Amino acid sequence: MKYTWLRLAKRVIPFLIIFISFWGACVIPASCKENISVLKAGVTEANGSERVNWSWWESFGDTTLVDALKKSVNNSFDVLIADLKAKEAENYINSSLKDQVPSLTLGGSLVEANPARINYFGEERNTAQKSIGFLYLPLEFSYEFDFWGIRSGQRAYAKANRDFAEFEKNYVILSTLSNVSALYFNILNNENIISLYEEIAELKKQKIAVSNEKLELGLATRQEIIELQKELAGIESKKTLLKAKNEELKNKFYLFVS
């Protein structure tokens, strides 16, 4: 029984060592898991809101504007792509660290050998039918010195790409905020101008009505009424064009926000 357990142990232990070594090489390190979780979070949210000084925007006292800006940053595909580029560059830097540390390899193997039937003098001898097991546990340690600075140059290049990706992300976020805020203020300004045009048009209509009464009394000429009607038509035309332009701005605004 003792011999059976010994043979079983000699056969099982090497496979356990090989399995543990393979599992350790395949398991994702904790730092990589954190990067993957952050990347998944970046897919659902552009993750650029932390770069915006929202207190400054809130100082305008317009909650509609602040909500629109937050939606535009979180829903913009340009911001999302820039955010993923920044995370990808950061992951390249983290992955380059593997070349800065030594590599360690652990393995295991079992070799069985049968005793020789011929001795050193060439004489045949009688031996029992048995085998001898040899257990190998190799542990390899290797490190390559970077005499020519190749790995350090690659790491510096990765850092430069990371800095550029961060700059691009900031630029895209600021560009999105500028476009949305400009559209918002232009829409409000056009709405005020349209309301002024409507008031002017109403005053022109009242003036035309008064001029018609004066015309019946002989106190005004028909030419004066024609001039007033031309002015009213010009106001109505400007109002119509501005409304159409404002609708176009609103459509662009909704594309950023939705």
Q: Is residue 200 part of a domain?
A: no
Q: Is residue 13 part of a domain?
A: yes
Segment 23-80, tens digit of pLDDT: 443 333 444 344 333 333 333 334 455 678 888 889 989 999 999 999 999 888 888 8
Q: How many domains does the chain have?
A: 1
The answer on pLDDT for 239 being more than 90 is yes
Residue 5: give the domain boundaries: 1-29+103-142
Q: Is residue 6 part of a domain?
A: yes
Q: Is residue 219 part of a domain?
A: no
Answer yes or no: are the C-beta atoms of 14 and 106 closer than 8 Å: no
Q: Is residue 79 part of a domain?
A: no
Q: Torsion-angle region of residue 149: left (phi > 0), alpha (psi -120 to 50) or beta?
A: left
Q: Is residue 118 part of a domain?
A: yes
C-alpha distances (whole Å) from 173 to each of 44, 84, 249, 252 are 17, 13, 20, 17
Q: Is residue 112 part of a domain?
A: yes
Question: What pLDDT shows up at residue 29?
Answer: 40
Smallest CA-to-CA distance from 142 within 106, 185, 108 is with 106
The answer on pLDDT for 158 being more than 50 is yes
Smallest CA-to-CA distance from 168 within 50, 86, 70 is with 86
Q: Is residue 138 part of a domain?
A: yes
Q: Which amino acid is at 178?
A: S
Task: Record the pTM.
Answer: 0.60
Question: What pLDDT shows up at residue 113?
Answer: 63
What is the radius of gyration, based on Cα positions, of the chain? 41
Confidence of residue 7 (pLDDT cuts 50, 70, 90): low
The answer on pLDDT for 126 being more than 90 is no
Segment 181-201, tens digit of pLDDT: 999 999 999 999 999 999 999
The answer on pLDDT for 110 being more than 90 is no
